[in-house]
Amino acid sequence: MGLGKKIFGAYLAVIGFILSPLSWWNDLFVNIPIAYAFAYLSAFISRSLFVPMFLIIYLLTNVAGFMLMHKGAEQIAEKESRWGMLESLAVSVFYMIIVILLMLFEIVPIPEGV
């Protein structure tokens, strides 16, 4: 495998890490703002879309992060794994459940003006 493909794999892994929930700052500075922005825009269509869109986009950013990290690691290591993707998906779903609970218990409030 060429050096260019390994560098691209490293790039994917870094972008994936930024989107994944593996760092303490990720949700605060990356995923929640992205999810909030899309949810806010969807609330202009219908206020009832805010929560579902927030949760869906938040989940998708986390899943995308894990998938990009996994794909990047595969390219760097020159091997493919089937179970790693399932583990990444399971962790993403776990974090999604935590976010749902935070919203249900109003720890993460839904904005009033939307």
What's the pLDDT tens digit per position in 10-45? 999 999 999 887 777 888 899 999 999 999 999 999
Does 66 fall in a domain? yes
Does 26 fall in a domain? yes
pLDDT of residue 45: 94
77 vs 84 pLDDT, higher one: 77
Does 79 fall in a domain? yes
What are the Cα distances from residue 22, in Å, to 32, 49, 96? 14, 28, 14
Q: Mean pLDDT across the stretch 51-74?
A: 87
Number of domains in the chain: 1
Does 68 fall in a domain? yes
Q: Which of 34, 12, 35, 4 is nearest to 100 (CA)?
A: 35
Q: Which of 40, 37, 92 is nearest to 64 (CA)?
A: 92
pLDDT of residue 54: 95
Strand residue runs (E) in the chain: none
pLDDT of residue 63: 82
- Domain residue limits at 16: 3-104
- How open is the CA angle 83-85-90, to the nearest 5 degrees? 95
